[in-house]
Amino acid sequence: MNKSNLKFRDIDDYHACQPNTIKKYLHQLRKTIKQAAPKVTEVISYGMPAFRLNKVLVYYAVCKSHIGLYPTPGPIRYFKKELAHYKTSKGAIQLPIDKPLPLALIKKIVKFRVAEDVRKAKTAK
């Protein structure tokens, strides 16, 4: 079923709509993001779970054969060596659903995004 045109009220609603085999990964991902950035606010943005401080730090979405993690380009460049085993693009990381999530790396990426967000918010004032 194409879920791209569904409207989700919140992240729980998004997770509930996913296959049971994927839900454990989503729970781990959400928990890891919130551990790395405990002050985030959870939102649905562009139809995806997103976590924000001043701006959105990171999004994720379930795709056919992976979970897309969208942390913006900065951390993808910064963690290029650690991400060498994953398919990436300018602002996305594909996390295969047939392998464990790299939770320690995800935590580092989120902390990197928190630092970026705080720095940008200070310079904007």
pLDDT of residue 5: 58
- Examine residue 108 and state whether it is found in any structural domain, yes or no: yes
Q: Is 24 exposed, middle or buried (0-12, 13-18, 19+ CB in 10 A)?
A: exposed
The whole-number average pLDDT for the span 96-104 is: 96
Its pTM stands at 0.92
- Examine residue 46 and state whether it is found in any structural domain, yes or no: yes
Domain hosting 22: range is 11-115
Domain containing 67 — which CATH number?
3.90.1150.200
- Examine residue 94 and state whether it is found in any structural domain, yes or no: yes
- The string of pLDDT tens digits covering residues 27-52 is 999 999 999 999 999 999 999 999 99
Is residue 1 over pLDDT 50? no
- Counting residues of the chain whose pLDDT is more than 90, the rounded percentage is 89
Is residue 82 over pLDDT 50? yes
For 64, which DSSP code? S
- Examine residue 106 and state whether it is found in any structural domain, yes or no: yes
Per the structure, the count of domains in the chain is 1
